[in-house]
Amino acid sequence: MYSRIIGTGSHLPEKVLSNQDLERMVDTSHEWIVTRTGIVERHIAGENELASDLALHASRKAIEAAGISLNEIDLVIVATTTSDMLFPSTAAILQSKLGLANHCAAFDVQAVCTGFIYALSTADCYLKSGRYRHALVVGTEVLSRIIDWTDRSTCVLFGDGAGAVVLKADSEAGILSSHLHADGSQNPILAVPGRVCNGKIEGSPFVYMSGNAVFKIAVNVLEQVAEEAMHANGMTPSDIDWLVPHQANIRIIEATAKKLSLDMARVVVTVDRHGNTSAASIPLALDEAAREGKFKKGDTLLLEGVGGGITWGAILLKW
């Protein structure tokens, strides 16, 4: 038994924040941002837009693309770092907004930018075991809420959005393998260290990142986990039709592609228009490429991500 992606969807908030807009907010330049990150613009959620709202739009599109009825979904997993509330889970809120309240299991997964890989892998295990038939797996973020908009080292990097997939238990090949890793000792280099305590936030509620340290780890672990996934399936880079990487920085994506000897023409890139949308970035890229008709039936896709934790992982699948 396999689990297979049968539909994708995504949603970006209407408001676009360009590098030129950021030039007016902090001491930065379009040239610096493009050269160092590849980002040109990103989308920012409206004041009243929550992670579950972005997820709702993306989910509806994914369910429509899958061609199944809503009540065939028996599992909802949401990957997010910016949940609507401390609790309940954004998955439970999304389930209710979809009209599936009290119909199926729903829970969140928190692995920051690797969240979607962790969530998809979790859903795959449930479907392969025969426990559920159809899973809705979503990555959604309103990262703009945890950004210090006076800190140029982080505020130019992130954006908001959501991506979703419907996964079906099937005898036809889909997800071939997933590979998850975490090194919790690296937690200080990428964190939002604040916590709610006695009715107040203690510590900083904003993203802190040691960019250089994360960059070096990212390039290494993304290569390692890609090799691990290919090795587990007896494949080499020439067997990979598409690499769908986490979209944090074009230099990380290009370095990974180069280490794997993958032509950039086989790499899905959205970081220029989305920025880093954390758990949403891989499903957003997946949906965009799918709707552009890039993937052909039977193509081999390698999805991979790295993020706070540090966490990292990869999923190898047949489209």
Nearest CB to ligand ACO, comparing residues 165 and 280: 280
Instruction: For residue 20, give Cα distances in angstroms to 13, 34, 251.
Output: 19, 11, 21
Binding status of residue 211 toward ligand ACO by CB under 6 A? yes
Handedness of CA 21, 159, 242, 224 (dihedral sign): positive
The reply to whether 246 belongs to the active site is yes
Task: Give dist(CA 74, CA 63) in Å, integer.
Answer: 13
Binding status of residue 152 toward ligand ACO by CB under 6 A? yes
Nearest CB to ligand ACO, comparing residues 36 and 145: 36
The reply to whether 104 belongs to the active site is no
- Of 6-14, 63-71, 179-187, 206-214, the window that binds ligand ACO (rule: CB under 6 A) is 206-214
Q: What angle do CA 17, 21, 27 make, to 5 degrees?
A: 125
Min CB(51)–ligand ACO separation in Å = 14
Among 15, 30, 36, 259, binds ligand ACO (CB under 6 A): 36
- Of 71-79, 102-110, 152-160, 259-267, the window that binds ligand ACO (rule: CB under 6 A) is 152-160
Binding status of residue 112 toward ligand ACO by CB under 6 A? yes
Q: If you write DSSP's letter for every residue of 141-170 in order, what string do you get? A: E-GGGG--TT-HHHHTTB--EEEEEEEEEE
The reply to whether 274 belongs to the active site is no
Count of C-beta atoms within a 10 Å radius of residue 254: 15
Catalytic residue among 113, 134, 249, 274: 113
Burial pattern 20-47, b for ≥16 Cβ within 10 A else e, equals eebbeeeebebeebeebbbbbbbbbbee
Phi–psi pair at 105, nearest 5 degrees:
-75, 145
Binding status of residue 278 toward ligand ACO by CB under 6 A? yes
Binding status of residue 249 toward ligand ACO by CB under 6 A? yes
Residues 6 or more apart whose CB falls under 8 angstroms from that of 208 comprise 154, 190, 191, 192, 193
Among 190, 222, 225, 240, binds ligand ACO (CB under 6 A): 190
Min CB(44)–ligand ACO separation in Å = 16
Binding status of residue 245 toward ligand ACO by CB under 6 A? no
Among 161, 245, 307, 313, binds ligand ACO (CB under 6 A): 307
By CB under 6 A, the residues from 49 to 108 that bind ligand ACO are none
Tell me the two tokens of residue 110.
């928190």
Instruction: For residue 211, give Cα distances in angstroms to 10, 153, 173.
Output: 28, 8, 38
Beta-bridged to residue 156, according to DSSP, are none
Binding status of residue 272 toward ligand ACO by CB under 6 A? no
- Which residues are annotated as catalytic? 113, 246, 276
The residues that touch ligand ACO, with contacts defined as CB under 6 A, are 28, 32-33, 36-37, 112-113, 152-153, 156, 190, 211-212, 214-215, 218, 248-249, 252, 276, 278, 306-308
